[in-house]
Structure 1
Amino acid sequence: MSTSNADANDLESEYEALLSFMYLSPVGIVRSDKSGLVDMMNPLAAQLLMPLVKGGGIENIFDSLASVAPELRNLVASFEVERGPVCENHRVFVTPARDGAVVLACSIIKVGANLLMTVLTDISRQVDAERRARQTESWLAGIYTSVNDFAFFTLDAEGCIESWNPSVGQLTGFAETDVVGRTLSRFYAHDDIVLHRSPAHIALTRDEGWHVEECWCETKSGRRYWGQILIAVLREEEGDISGYSVVLRDVTERKVTSDNLARLLTTDHLTGVLSRAHFFEIAGSEVARAKRHSRALSVVMLDADYFKRINDTAGHQAGDEVLKRIADEAKGLLRESDTVARLGGEEFILMLPSTTTNEAMAVAERLRVAVERARIDTAVGQLKATVSLGVASLSPANPTLEGLLAAADRALYDAKRAGRNCVRGGFADPTDVDCSVCEDGKASETDGCPATATENDNSNSR
């Protein structure tokens, strides 16, 4: 074989080896000229870049990354050395820097006067882990700003308190005999005990390695304070969970400040209940928690009856007073763990964790009666108002938040069709319209029953 043929074969073998390396590499590799014009890339690089080009071709690496990393082109242009690393593990956030962000590490090497090799690696999981670590470090740093406002103790593998030290007594007033063998609920405020809170906190800690919960707590003497509880898993050498470490902190002062800000951002300015936007922010988590722990969850959707008529005859200021009174009556009936929000106009919704359908129907009926009995002071005198309510519960038929709300909305319309001022469940047969206003469930014009309203009134009442 001639020398020229041997050299050609060697070059071909090297080229095939380069291709094999690129295609089998666990990272994305792109070869381009100095301007970014691509002449070779492996499948993983194409996969990582494809979301950025929105279905188009990947002809220029800098154009493909321009929307998320426009600085790369300038880095290359300003790199005057003929060979060497232009950048190493430069982080490119493909999606916004939040939970679940897609992040690439980009390294560009100049291997010739007009030849670049770009290496792309998906480091999303690493960045998420770093975020969690920073969150933990920040939280722990906050704890040690004062040695007088936190207590440290441990739980056994079943979630019962197994150790005590003086910091517990200093913060809570409880002696060792008061707490050892008890669960975290020992520290909760008596009027704010949610049955699932302690086991749910432990379950989330097992899943994530650590978890933070905040709730109202109470000292032995009865002083309420806003407690922040951090639980971290303790493991044996084999990896089995042996118990948990707990830091309990009094963060009441911080809560007062943050609550004032949160109130402005998350509440309806007129009624003081949650805003529609904030309700939907938390509702999904409530549904997920209920499904994860196989617990009941119900919602009550309610609407002020003939609200347009109130505005038209008494004025919008009087209508505002009616809405505020409905919200106040709802808040007065609910527990700390329940939620009431204004969905818009005259429509409200209650979310009731750990509440069965029958229990939610009872809550809805109590609210209906409370509103009906209320005498609402306005600038034009006292007014009376009623509400119609629809109830639905999480179930195989309503397994999602969207399904739950749709079922409650159907039940609310059933209550409207039944004559208003009544409660209907999402499970009810639409033909079963026993009206709680009218005697024997029958509407009559002589009774003054709202069910006799005209078609136009019905169309404007929501």
Structure 2
Amino acid sequence: MTPAAAAGSLEEEHEALLSFMYLSPIGIIRSSLTGEVDMLNPLSVQLLMPLAGLLGVTNIFESLSHVAPELRNLVSSFNGERGPVCEGHRIVVTPDRERSTVLSCNILKINESTLMTTLTDISRQVEAERRARQNESWLAGIFTSVNDFAFFTLDANGHVDSWNPSIEQMTGYAETDVVGHSLDRFYASDDIDAYRSPEHIALTREEGWHVQECWCQGKDGRRYAAQILVAVLREDDGEFAGYSVVLRDVSERKISSDELTRLLTTDHLTGAMNRAHFFKVAEKEVARSKRLGKPLSFVMIDADHFKKINDTAGHQAGDKVLERIVAEARRSLRSIDVIARLGGEEFCLMLRGTPADAAALIAEGIRANIEASRIDTAVGEQAVTVSLGCASLSHALASMHDLLAAADKSLYAAKAAGRNRVAGQS
């Protein structure tokens, strides 16, 4: 082949590649190992623009930092010369159920300096999976582990009104121990949540049936992981008659799945809940609190001058700051509260059953604890401070999106007022 023919062939291949990228039904991005983008197709721009804003997509990791901060670490910890860094990694872009956007991300290391990233919108698939899991839970409650279940019924008020030997065989409780009691009777004493039973009944009335997993405890004190399926009972004429309950011991399955659950729901660096799982949990908690008329507060936390710490003391010092924030926050939280890493140096607390004034006190305690702490770095001891913004459930703030937006607005008010302080919703 002559040089001219070879050049023509290369040019044709290049044009074919550009045509493929332009017409591809998935987002394609070519970048350096640090995320600097040198080629991307129109669909990737469309998918990333809501995150990148007016500045455009110049660095893939920066564009996704607030929804997938782990990507940079996944790439930096990949030791192979080439190969897949991640496959099918899910990124939740928006938290709202009605407008939820979930992307599937694949990153391939091409050589020592180049990454190829693909992004696919799988929002519809994720919703279909959620519905399938509900159906699977229902079928599992009926057809599996038939030797480790108890069946009984509840009256219209959610109290046990029937008993059979399967209850005593599984839990040790006699008829007099359970009849007239709510589902609270079966919950483990060290995992009490006053809202759990009322919520389960309320969701069952709304959906026709509902499954929850929790820790239960037998009469002898044995603690076990359980799945409780509650379904509405109706008379022949369709009138509501109460509820049927299947209580299953799923301890063996839980032991094998706990580690997988931890990996899927936890931020790898700090141990806080990850962004995707937080949105699922928080959405359910907002709905539950509204249904039961209970207070609920969100607190946004952001490390002050975090970029400066990274620039002067190194990224390892930045990681220590994030770990310290989570550790100090947990000292002030109850077991039913949640701390999640939403992205970068931003965290969110979800305080169940907590009104605005109590949330502000908790936030102030966390702020003071973090301010009093120090971290060791390569350039010496470093002080750490955070700014916090609070928001609480109300008629004006009635959705998870509203609460997050209000808490974020309060956070930026704290930043604007000088940092290292707590601000509440106006």
Scaled by the length of structure 1, the TM-score of the pair is: 0.60
The amino acid across from 1:228 in the alignment is Q
Are residues 1:265 and 2:264 paired? yes
Shift of residue 139, structure 1, vs aligned partner: 3.1
Any conservation in 2 of the 1:318–1:380 contact (CA below 8 Å)?
no
Which is greater in Rg?
1
Q: Which runs of 4+ in 1 moved over 4 A?
A: 95-101, 130-135, 377-382
Q: After the TM superposition, which residues 231-380 of structure 1 pair with which residues of structure 2 at under 5 Å, given as runs?
A: 231-378=230-377
In 1, distance between residues paired with 2:137 and 2:350? 30
The amino acid across from 1:191 in the alignment is D
Which secondary structure does the structure 2 equivalent of 1:143 belong to?
Answer: coil
Q: Per the alignment, do residues 311 and 214 of structure 1 end up closer, same or farther by CA in structure 2, a change over 3 Å counting?
A: same
Where does residue 138 of structure 2 map in the other structure?
136
In 1, distance between residues paired with 2:289 and 2:206? 16
Higher mean C-alpha displacement, 327-336 vs 341-350: 327-336
Q: After the TM superposition, which residues 64-83 of structure 1 pair with which residues of structure 2 at under 5 Å, given as runs?
A: none
In 2, distance between residues paired with 1:172 and 1:332? 34
Which secondary structure does the structure 1 equivalent of 2:211 belong to?
Answer: strand
In 1, distance between residues paired with 2:164 and 2:416? 62
Shift of residue 138, structure 1, vs aligned partner: 3.5
1:334-366 Cα deviation digits (max 9, x unpaired): 333322111111110011232211221122122
Q: Per the alignment, do residues 240 and 423 of structure 1 end up closer, same or farther by CA in structure 2, a change over 3 Å counting?
A: same
1:203-257 Cα deviation digits (max 9, x unpaired): 1212222211111222334333221101122222332222222111121222232
Q: Per the alignment, do residues 100 and 312 of structure 1 end up closer, same or farther by CA in structure 2, a change over 3 Å counting?
A: closer
Where does residue 155 of structure 2 map in the other structure?
156
In 2, distance between residues paired with 1:100 and 1:316? 39
In 2, distance between residues paired with 1:206 and 1:216? 23
Q: Per the alignment, do residues 388 and 133 of structure 1 end up closer, same or farther by CA in structure 2, a change over 3 Å counting?
A: closer
Q: Per the alignment, do residues 377 and 153 of structure 1 end up closer, same or farther by CA in structure 2, a change over 3 Å counting?
A: farther
In 1, distance between residues paired with 2:367 and 2:133? 47
The amino acid across from 1:393 in the alignment is S
Shift of residue 325, structure 1, vs aligned partner: 1.6
Larger RCO, structure (CA 8 Å, separation 6 or more): 2
The amino acid across from 2:204 in the alignment is T
Shift of residue 99, structure 1, vs aligned partner: 5.4
The amino acid across from 2:205 in the alignment is R
1:352-407 Cα deviation digits (max 9, x unpaired): 23221122112212222222233435566554322111100122222232221121
Unaligned runs of 5+ in 1: 1-94, 102-127, 428-462
In 2, distance between residues paired with 1:230 and 1:238? 24
The amino acid across from 1:141 in the alignment is F
Which secondary structure does the structure 1 equivalent of 2:228 belong to?
Answer: strand
Where does residue 397 of structure 1 map in the other structure?
396
Could you say what the CA RMSD is over the residues aligned between the two structures, in angstroms? 2.7
The amino acid across from 1:197 in the alignment is R
1:98-136 Cα deviation digits (max 9, x unpaired): 7579xxxxxxxxxxxxxxxxxxxxxxxxxx8x9976653
Where does residue 408 of structure 2 map in the other structure?
409
Shift of residue 279, structure 1, vs aligned partner: 2.1
In 2, distance between residues paired with 1:371 and 1:253? 40
Q: Per the alignment, do residues 174 and 329 of structure 1 end up closer, same or farther by CA in structure 2, a change over 3 Å counting?
A: farther
In 1, distance between residues paired with 2:379 and 2:168? 57
Where does residue 193 of structure 1 map in the other structure?
192
Where does residue 46 of structure 2 map in the other structure?
none
In 2, distance between residues paired with 1:359 and 1:343? 23
The amino acid across from 1:179 in the alignment is V
Q: Per the alignment, do residues 173 and 385 of structure 1 end up closer, same or farther by CA in structure 2, a change over 3 Å counting?
A: farther
Unaligned runs of 5+ in 2: 1-122
Higher mean C-alpha displacement, 167-176 vs 402-411: 167-176
Any conservation in 2 of the 1:392–1:407 contact (CA below 8 Å)?
yes
Any conservation in 1 of the 2:138–2:211 contact (CA below 8 Å)?
no
In 1, distance between residues paired with 2:135 and 2:282? 27
Where does residue 71 of structure 1 map in the other structure?
none
Q: Per the alignment, do residues 220 and 328 of structure 1 end up closer, same or farther by CA in structure 2, a change over 3 Å counting?
A: farther
In 2, distance between residues paired with 1:203 and 1:368? 37
In 2, distance between residues paired with 1:218 and 1:295? 26
Any conservation in 1 of the 2:141–2:246 contact (CA below 8 Å)?
no
Higher mean C-alpha displacement, 259-268 vs 380-389: 380-389
Q: Per the alignment, do residues 300 and 138 of structure 1 end up closer, same or farther by CA in structure 2, a change over 3 Å counting?
A: same
In 2, distance between residues paired with 1:96 and 1:317? 38
Which secondary structure does the structure 1 equivalent of 2:144 belong to?
Answer: helix
1:247-276 Cα deviation digits (max 9, x unpaired): 111212222322222222222111111222
Where does residue 164 of structure 2 map in the other structure?
165
Where does residue 208 of structure 1 map in the other structure?
207
Q: After the TM superposition, which residues 102-121 of structure 1 pair with which residues of structure 2 at under 5 Å, given as runs?
A: none
